[in-house]
Every structure is written in structure tokens, then in C-alpha cells.
Amino acid sequence: MTHDFQTIVVTRDIAATPETVFALWSDPALKEGWFMGGDRPDWASTEYVSDLAEGGEERCVFTHAEMGRFTIPSHVLIAQAPSRCVSAYRMDRGDTPITASLVTIAVARSAKGTALTPTEQIVFTDGGDSLETRVPGTEAVIDKLVAPAEA
């Protein structure tokens, strides 16, 4: 059994206060607007249940035209308004877990307003139907993902 780790870091400098940005993460009605929306022709979102208080649970279901159903259960570990939110989530394709992640949202005041930095630490997990794991095993593939994340 092998485990493969990846980290994705995304940053945004936003012309709004940390309180507003944090509310967009932690208020379920606000979060659904950006988290589930968007024009993604291959994807349909079929379920969104959200309690984003500390200890709360979130669950979303997406269906992709070719790849089938993806279910994403999430658990809020830490919610410290307006500066930090840490959650753990799993992504299942069909009934098979494919990744598990720790997501840390850092919200800091900046000259423009708010520096928002989500960091996702992902482990690609066992395929579920055998002892073999379905990891993206080559450095070349990993580099292509991590390089832009660290740019």
C-alpha cells in the first residue's frame, strides 16, 4: 500500500474586509453561491447540505457526464472568525474513496483588503477494491500539479 501526498496552495488578494471573506466561507447560504455555482457544463450538483460551525458537517454531491457521481463529505475542525478555518474532507467516486484532504483557510488583512490563502493537503488513498492503490505515481505528473501551485 502506498500513499501519495500533494499540496495545492491558492491565493487571492480581495478588496473586501476579512469579516466579509470569512462570512463567505462560514455562512452556508453565502458559501453555496460561490462553492456550488459556476458554469461547468460537464458537472451537475445534485445535493448540498452544510453546517459550517465548528464541529459541523458539510456534504455535496456532484455528477460528471463521463466520470459519474462524486460525493464529498466534510467536517469542520476549527472555525476561528475571521482568520482561520480548518476542515477535513473525503472525495468518493461512486462508492470508492479516492482522496482525503485537510483544508486550511487563512484569512489575513492586506493593503487591498484581505489576503485569502486556502491550502489543501491531499492524500490519494487506496482504490478500495484491491490492495493496489490508484496513485498518480510519476514525479512528472506530480510536478505538473505542484509547480503552478507553488509559483
Question: Applying CB under 8 A, which part among 26-34, 52-60, 80-88 lies near other proteins?
Answer: 26-34
Angle at 8 between CA 132 and CA 81, to 5 degrees: 120
Q: Which of residues 32-51 bind other proteins (CB under 8 A)?
A: 33-35, 37-38, 40
Question: Which DSSP helix (H) or strand (E) runs through 20?
Answer: helix 18-26
Contact, 107 vs 21, CB < 8 A? Answer: yes
Closest approach of Cβ 100 to other proteins, in Å? 13
Phi first, then psi: give them for residue 34, nearest 5 degrees. -105, -30
Contact, 44 vs 62, CB < 8 A? Answer: yes
Q: Which of residues 44-83 bind other proteins (CB under 8 A)?
A: 66-68
Q: Which residues bind other proteins (CB under 8 A)?
A: 2, 6, 8, 10, 12, 14-17, 20-21, 24, 30, 33-35, 37-38, 40, 66-68, 93, 112-114, 116, 118, 120, 122, 127, 130, 132-141, 144-145, 148-149
